[in-house]
Amino acid sequence: MKKHVLIIGGGFAGLAAGVYLAEVGHKVEILERRAFLGGRAYSFLDSSGAWDLDSRDVIDNGQHLFMGCYYETFKFLKKLGTDHLIKLQSQPRVDFLDSELGKLSLNCPSLPPPLHLAIGLMRLKGLSLIEKLNTLRVGTVLNLSQEKLEKQLGQLTVKEWLVKAGQSERVQTRFWDMLSVATLNEEPDVAAATLLAKVLQQGFGGSRTDSCMAVSSVGLSELYTEQARSFIEERDGKISLRTSAKRLLFADGICTGIELANGETVKADIYISAVPYFALRQFLPEKLVSSNQYFAAWQSFKSSPIISIYLWFDQAITDLQFAGLLNARLQWLFNKNLIISSSKRDRQLLTFVISAAHKFQNFSKQQLIDIALEDLYKFIPAAKNAKLLKSLVIKEQHATHSATVESEKHRPEQKSPIKNLLLAGDWTKTGLPATIEGAVLSGRICADIVNHL
């Protein structure tokens, strides 16, 4: 039986749920409080900075890397007709910059996984042969079932797991820590080991293409938001922008409606919350939270911030598309000229990312720019010859939930105890870190649940 489904939130999770539901004939309605779709994964045309440089470059709210193992994301984008806008590597490769050794590359050959990763690690400069061989001990998790993974690593932080697996301090600093922070957006001494293990399984335990990196050749908003909107509306769905939910209404054990900020109440058969945990808190009555462990369990969740620093230079500084920065305050450098197809070519726009940016979130814009320049000059001294034309700093205070061992235990299932209320979002229990892939997966799971109600 087709149902009227009301979704709060127009990010990846909400739009994925809406698309899958609309496709099979459900009446979909999405409420989005802002004037645009995209949640925490959106883009905009920049016009900030120097009065004589109106760049109109496409700026993402935060730079995102995709991987070949993002099956749910690629399936969703293919449904929208935009999967071709993702540039996927022909073979797995990640470049790193080291202030002493220069450019290093984890270049995986055309061999079956995980052999391709093992050979790539053996070729990586900067680690001793013993350290390289020891990294293979971490690979023993690749074939573990979820049950065994939980049993072995469920109580461990990434740091504790790596120490237990015999990883030296140097190999942690030069390899594992960067991977952990980039994928989990949390420091290794508090991040859940099970999540990093899942990243390794997903990326390196399947096909060789799974471990290939990918970037969007257009801004994130251009990749999926309007296409999803058209898909839903063409199937008699409705998307309401500038529409803020105030609270969820309950009676007799079910959700009976959503009260909006303007006082109006909207009703449906099924309700899906596709907003972050901190937003959903505000919609729930205190009595429900205090009396139901499902809702109470994640009330102590905290956020982990990401800071993106955009710097425009008057000349090219690097020909790398992206690179990890070893032993730096910044973790990643992205060359937007080589990523976004519409980028200007008479200058270079570089993006620097600080994940798990807890200690930097109160820094001023100028302090963060200074840090970016200092690290850049350390890794690419020739950059000192380029003139900084303008800059932009984006702080996403609630980029993801803090992926600690404790929070991982309390991530909620998509199906709540309220039979007509579902939860979607990268913070729900997907078995994955808080990524675009996790968000899309959560939306698809919600759609599947609705189809079986």
Q: Which pLDDT tens digit goes with each residue over 441-450?
A: 999 999 999 9
**pLDDT for residue 278 is more than 90:** yes
Quote the radius of gyration of the chain (alpha carbons, Å).
22
Write out the residue limits of the CATH 3.90.660.10 domain(s) in the chain: 303-401
The structure tokens 């449904």 sit at 79
| CATH for 303-401, options being 3.65.10.10, 3.90.660.10, 3.40.47.10, 1.10.3720.10 | 3.90.660.10
Report the alpha-carbon distance of residue 18 to residue 268 in Å, rounded: 14
Summarised one tens digit per residue, pLDDT across range 190-231 is: 999 999 999 999 988 888 899 999 999 999 999 999 999 999
Q: Quickly state the pLDDT bin for 342 (edges 50, 70, 90).
A: low
Given a contact cutoff of 8 angstroms between Cβ atoms, the answer to whether 148 and 198 are in contact is no
**What type of residue sits at position 3?**
K
User: What pLDDT is stored for residue 27 in this prediction?
Assistant: 98
User: What pLDDT is stored for residue 264 in this prediction?
Assistant: 97
User: What pLDDT is stored for residue 54 in this prediction?
Assistant: 54
Q: Is the pTM of this model over 0.85?
A: yes
* Strand ranges inside 280-347, DSSP E: 303-313, 322-325, 332-335
Mean pLDDT check: name the lowest of 19-33, 122-136, 285-299.
122-136
Q: Quickly state the pLDDT bin for 266 (edges 50, 70, 90).
A: very high
**pLDDT for residue 287 is more than 70:** yes
* Strand ranges inside 383-447, DSSP E: 388-401, 421-423
Q: Quickly state the pLDDT bin for 267 (edges 50, 70, 90).
A: very high
User: What pLDDT is stored for residue 120 in this prediction?
Assistant: 87
Report the alpha-carbon distance of residue 384 to residue 379 in Å, rounded: 11
| CATH for 4-41+219-301+403-451, options being 3.40.720.10, 1.20.1050.10, 3.50.50.60, 3.20.20.140 | 3.50.50.60
Write out the residue limits of the CATH 3.50.50.60 domain(s) in the chain: 4-41+219-301+403-451
User: What pLDDT is stored for residue 48 in this prediction?
Assistant: 61
User: What pLDDT is stored for residue 137 in this prediction?
Assistant: 86
Residues near 159 by beta carbon (within 8 Å), at least 6 away in sequence: 172, 188, 189
**What type of residue sits at position 146?**
Q
**pLDDT for residue 181 is more than 90:** yes
**pLDDT for residue 345 is more than 50:** yes
User: What pLDDT is stored for residue 51 in this prediction?
Assistant: 42
| Mean confidence (pLDDT) of the chain | 93
**pLDDT for residue 233 is more than 50:** yes
162: its two tokens? 């790596």
Q: How far is CA 234 from CA 1, 10, 143, 224, 450, in A?
A: 20, 17, 43, 15, 20
User: What pLDDT is stored for residue 222 in this prediction?
Assistant: 96
**pLDDT for residue 4 is more than 50:** yes
**pLDDT for residue 52 is more than 50:** no
User: What pLDDT is stored for residue 55 in this prediction?
Assistant: 58
User: What pLDDT is stored for residue 420 in this prediction?
Assistant: 97
